[in-house]
Homo-oligomer: A and B are copies of this chain.
Amino acid sequence: MLKTERQAYILRQIDLHNRILSSDLSTEINVSEDTIRRDLNELADMDKIIKVHGGALSKSFHSSFLKSDVYQADSKRLIAQKVVPLIRNNMFILTTGGTTIIEMARILPPDLNATFFTGSIPAAHEYAQHPNIEVIFLGDKISKSSQIAVGGEAISKISGIKADLCIMGINAIDETGITDNDWEVIQVKRAMIQAAEKTIVLSIAEKVNTHQKLMICGLDEVDTMITELDPSHNLFESYKKHGITIL
C-alpha cells in the first residue's frame, strides 16, 4: 500500500468515525504503529486532523456530539464485522441498502477486490469511495420512501446477473420466512435472492421472530443469518433446523 493511499484511507476513517486509535489502524492496515503515528502527525501538520494521544480526531469534532442517529448503531457495526470475512476477492455481490449494509461498506478492507451491485444510492456512494471495488448501480427510477431503485428496470437488470452472494438487510424474519412491508422493495429483494448463489441476511436480533405483511421468501432460500448475538443463542434453534448458518 502506498503512503498516500494509506493516508487517504486514514482520513476517510476519521471522517467516518470522527475518531480513531493508532493501534486499530495499525492492525487494520497492517503496518507498524510508528508508521501510523507518523502519518497522523503529517496529516495533523497539514491541518487535516487533530492529533491526540493514542489516535486522532476529525477536525469537525464538535459536530460529532450530534452523533449519528442510527438506531442500534453498535449492533449494526457488530453485524457488519461478521459479514466482512465472508466476502472474498473477485466475488460478484448483490446488496440492498439499509444502515447495516452501509456500515459494512465502510469497513470493507481496502485491498478487497470485488464487484458490488446495488440499487441503493447511499450504498453505491459508500462502495464508490472504496479504492478497489467496482460499483454497478441497478435500475433507474428511485423510490423516495426506500431510497433504492425500484420497478421493472431494476428487476430485469438484477435478473440478468449471476452473483456469488446476496447480502440483504431485512426487516422481519420468522419461521415462515422473510417478510417486509413495501411492495416495491419486496420485488427487488426477491429478484436479488433469485440472482445470487448464496443469500446472507443481516438483522438485528430485535427483528428476529417478527413478521410483516408481505412475504419475500421462505427460510429455505436463506443460507446464512447474521445478528449481533452469539450464534449459540437459543433464539436461533428453529432457524438452525432449517439449515441456516447463524453467525
A→B interface (CB under 8 Å): 2-5, 7-8, 11, 17-19, 21, 48, 50, 52-55, 57, 61-62, 64-65, 68, 121-122, 124-125, 127-129, 131-132, 134-142, 144, 147, 149, 157
**A64: chain B residues within 8 A (beta carbon):** 8, 129
B65 x A11 contact (CB < 8 A): yes
B121 x A125 contact (CB < 8 A): yes
A140 x B121 contact (CB < 8 A): no
The residue in A17, A61, A124 that gathers the most chain B C-beta atoms within 10 A of its C-beta is: A124
The residue in A7, A128, A129 that gathers the most chain B C-beta atoms within 10 A of its C-beta is: A128
Sampled A-B contacts (12; CB under 8 Å): A2-B19, A4-B57, A5-B19, A5-B57, A5-B61, A8-B61, A8-B64, A11-B65, A19-B131, A124-B142, A136-B140, A137-B140
- Identical chains bound together, number: 2
Question: Which 10 residue pairs spanning A and B have beta carbons closest together?
Answer: A8-B65, A135-B142, A4-B52, A136-B140, A121-B125, A137-B140, A2-B54, A121-B124, A128-B142, A2-B52
Select A144's contact among B50, B54, B128, B140, beta carbons within 8 Å.
B128
A53 to B42, CA, bound (A): 15
A110 to B5, CA, bound (A): 31
A137 to B125, CA, bound (A): 13
A48 x B68 contact (CB < 8 A): yes
A141 to B137, CA, bound (A): 6
Distance (Å) between the CB of A110 and the closest chain B CB?
Answer: 11
**A7: chain B residues within 8 A (beta carbon):** 65
